Structure 1
Amino acid sequence: MIKKYIYLLFILLFFSCGEDENVGKKYKGPREIVMIDKGIYKVSYNEIYEQPNWIEYTVSNRPKNVDRGNKDFYLESGVHTSNDADYYKNEWDKGHLAPAATFSDSEENLNKTFSFINCAMQIDNLNRGEWAQLEQQVRDWSVNGNISVKIDLVFAANHEIRNSGVHIPTGFWKNLTFSNGDQTCYYFPNSSTNKNWDKYQANCN
């Protein structure tokens, strides 16, 4: 009988220790790299910065079948991102990285572009100006063949961090690879623009 009690006590201790071990492993804090494949784009997301590290997608002359209407960005389940409060009453737009207009061939694809994992803290004048103009130009070029796009967000050592915890990108590298293998790159500082989109062309590193 005593042996039976000792055995039961051992079993209880074993499982209680196991539970304590798992409690400490449930939350490891924000991750520097979270890889997400949404089908129409792939993104490396930085939960510490609450901004993407980079994003890749292909522009393929898709027809426009749906309108964006009053859509707004939504939170992505299981990923710690920026949110509406980070963009409230300031000079930053919710800047699409994979453009909504590029994926307006279906309601499903359009909705995917409104995830906060596809959203950057982008100065309003840039988002609505030269950045949008280059997006349209890429769509025009895609009539002649698919174009692969990669956007890298740049964070300088002294980049701004808002009180909410979101980090502000210093700039954006945009690398275009055409169907013939040619590449063209652009660098946009995250600031008010004062020149045409083609003036931001830079050497591809």
Structure 2
Amino acid sequence: MAARTSVARRQKGYGWFLYPGLGVLVVFFFGMFFWNVGISFLKWPGYGPAKWVGLDNFRNILDNQDFWESWIHGAFYVIPYALIPTLLGLVLAVATYDAFVGKFGSKLVPVARTGFFLPQIVPIAVSGMIWMWMLDGSEGALNTFLEQLGMGEVTTEWLREPDTALLAVAFFMLWLQTGFAYVVFLAGLSRLDPSVLEASQLDGAN
């Protein structure tokens, strides 16, 4: 009983290390969130007196075509940045775990992990320069490769045309983020109890 009381007291002491971070979170996240909600009902340029307009700001923005275009572009940006890399990282992690760990041994896992995680290690500025060089319309590696394959009619200014530029950015974010999800899922799979996997295989799970 005394041992449990001592452990409980030590655990209570951990809270003091969390309170500063919690205070910063409350002030700079929740505080700013409610502040933005409040000023969204005002007509206020950021200085001077403010005028209450209610829901007029929301009506105006919903009728603004530029808002919907930016919303679509934002959604198009989020999908290759968060959704697809998560799903693709899971698929690659399962395939790696099944192929390397389950059949060929785990010696090749660090090689695969390093290869997929490499985009996260390279500084974003360096990655951007590399992709700009590859997608350059005049001397880019992609257009040069397509011309060597006899597909010169497909070459274009990848970063200057609106449609291809958006696709190029989306593919770049997909390449950048997939490795992080892959490493996280692979780490989770490596912590699975082998007895659970063996039992599931005996039960016919694929």
Q: TM-score, length-normalised on structure 1?
A: 0.23
Tell which structure's C-alpha radius of gyration is larger: 2
Higher relative contact order (CA 8 A, sep 6+): 2
**Which of the pair is proportionally richer in strand?**
1
**Which of the pair is proportionally richer in helix?**
2
Q: TM-score, length-normalised on structure 2?
A: 0.23
